[in-house]
Structure 1
Amino acid sequence: MKPNCKDIAQRVIAQEAAAVAALQKFVDDDFERAIALLLNCKGRIVLSGIGKSAIIAQKIVATFNSTGTPSIFMHAADALHGDLGIIQEGDVVMILSKSGNSPEIKALIPLIKNFGNSLIAICGNEHSDLAKQADIFLNTTVPNEACPNNLAPTTSTTAQLVIGDALAVCLMEIKGFKDEDFAKFHPGGTLGKKLYLRVADVFVHNEKPAVYPHQSLKEVIVEMTQKRLGVTAVIDEEQNLVGIITDGDLRRMLKKNTDIEHISAKDIMTIHPKHISKDELAITALDIMRKNAITQLVVTDNKKYSGIIHIHDLLKEGLI
């Protein structure tokens, strides 16, 4: 009988979810000691491992670095052939291993101890050499692997990753790591743009449609047509925003009125329109547009009219 893939996937997810939930009982005084050690580290966090644990160690390094905790990866096998030079005075070494008894790990432990560096073990075997000789032991024991043969690292590596994330998030919150700090380390791609791209960086490339309240309907239409944003701001003599007119406002007005000769901007404008400061993040402008089902937003600078940001601008920047 052919295996049911859905049943297998659901079993794996349930099994790994249960193992992750069970890790909560291992968050003890050693976990707090590990956080204190990492917070007071004068150097970097050097993470190491062998096999699949090495791959998880590299991911934790990436998470630490992107959240303000300087870290570096050292493969346990390469460490025995010259890469031990990575470790400097003041560094804290963190070794990941399921068994804690791999030959490379056992050979590495005394070398690190001889250097005088503190050693944290993330290990799934509390009776292993690694767990016993580490200064701090973080337990990631799991009942079994999701692999049907209980061999391929699956649940155990998930547990290691979760403990790494728990350490990183604790460090972030204790340090008060903010959005602007995160943006410093993520300047590229969509994520970076969400964190640093501001309205002022986007709307300045657009035309600046504007009319005064007394101007005629014809003048309003001409302004909107020339500036091609489907909207115009209505302003006073001091450039204060008093209203907005959109394509939709024009269509609704024309549907209601047959005599349009004497209609002016003030008769059809929407007062108190949605607007945003030019110093706000562009992603905030997108949130306002989505919540209010609009495609343009007036930009202001100290309550003065500055221009229009269009949803197409945000689309071009890759925020949508």
Structure 2
Amino acid sequence: MSNHWQQACAAWQIYSNEMAALSGHLNDELWASLLAALRGCEGKIAVTGVGTSGIAARKIAHMLACVERPAIYLNATDAAHGDLGFLDDRDLLIMLSRGGNSDELTRLLPGLAAKGVKLISVTENPDSAIAQAANLVISTGVKREIDPLNMLATTSIVLALAIFDAVCVCLMEESGYSKETLLKVHPGGDVGLTLRGKTP
């Protein structure tokens, strides 16, 4: 067995262990608060982050839109150059940053507060700027990234995506989401063909 194959298997085992630990790190009260914040949003839901967190933010926004939540990815740099005008006090911003102190995000905080935008921060640092400014803080409780330096956003991003995928599952279940609902928002690709009863 090659060393590289062993490294790959060890990395996947870290993912598996950390994913299994989520249910012990989060709790029913926090989960209810997260769902209530998304369910109770009277305006738009924006999701932002930078670097790998920004890529994850795009996916989270996409999944929320797929389950008929008015969600969109907000580029943090563009937000600091006028796109904050997109948000008002009916809206909710989900901000992702493991360290929680990225300049691109922290410079948005005064404007968000002034506009009354509600903030959910997904961060591992409870003392960070985005955690201190948040109405609700979500942490994955990650213990180990899979890279040899234990610094790159690998495991932590997979866990953040898993959290919001599970959120979407809950929102689908409580809304009575059906195949007909999905077809309305996802008419393209193999999903659309399958839902229309055609062979991909």
Q: TM-score range by the shorter chain?
A: over 0.9
Q: Which amino acid aligns with 2:76?
A: A
Which residue does the alignment assign to 2:38? 38
CA offset at residue 165 of structure 1?
Answer: 0.8
Structure 1 runs not aligned, ≥5 long: 198-281, 283-316
CA distance in 1, matches of 2:43, 2:164: 18
How does 1:58-207 map onto structure 2 within 5 Å? 58-195=58-195, 197=196
CA offset at residue 123 of structure 1?
Answer: 1.2
Deviation track 1:45-85 (CA, whole Å, cap 9, x = no partner) reads: 11011110000000011111111111011122221122212
CA distance in 1, matches of 2:81, 2:58: 19
TM-score, normalisation: structure 2 = 0.92
SS of the residue corresponding to residue 48 of structure 2 reads strand
Which residue does the alignment assign to 1:55? 55
Give the structure with the higher percent strand.
1
Q: Is the 8 A contact 1:121 1:130 kept in 2?
A: yes
CA RMSD of aligned residues (A): 1.7
CA offset at residue 161 of structure 1?
Answer: 0.7
Q: Which structure has the greater CA radius of gyration?
A: 1
CA distance in 1, matches of 2:24, 2:77: 32
Q: Is the 8 A contact 2:89 2:118 kept in 1?
A: no
After the TM superposition, list the runs of 4 or more consecutive aligned residues in structure 1 that deviate by more than 4 angstroms: none
Give the structure with the higher percent helix.
2
CA offset at residue 175 of structure 1?
Answer: 1.4
Q: Is the 8 A contact 1:120 1:138 kept in 2?
A: yes
CA distance in 1, matches of 2:163, 2:136: 14
Aligned residues between the structures: 199
Identity, % of aligned pairs?
A: 35
Q: Is the 8 A contact 1:43 1:92 kept in 2?
A: yes
Q: Which amino acid aligns with 2:186?
A: H
How does 1:292-303 map onto structure 2 within 5 Å? none
Q: Which structure exhibits the higher relative contact order, with contacts defined as CA atoms closer than 8 Å and separated by 6 or more residues?
A: 2
CA offset at residue 128 of structure 1?
Answer: 1.7
Q: Is the 8 A contact 1:47 1:72 kept in 2?
A: yes
CA distance in 2, matches of 1:172, 1:110: 34
Structure 2 runs not aligned, ≥5 long: none
CA distance in 2, matches of 1:38, 1:52: 23
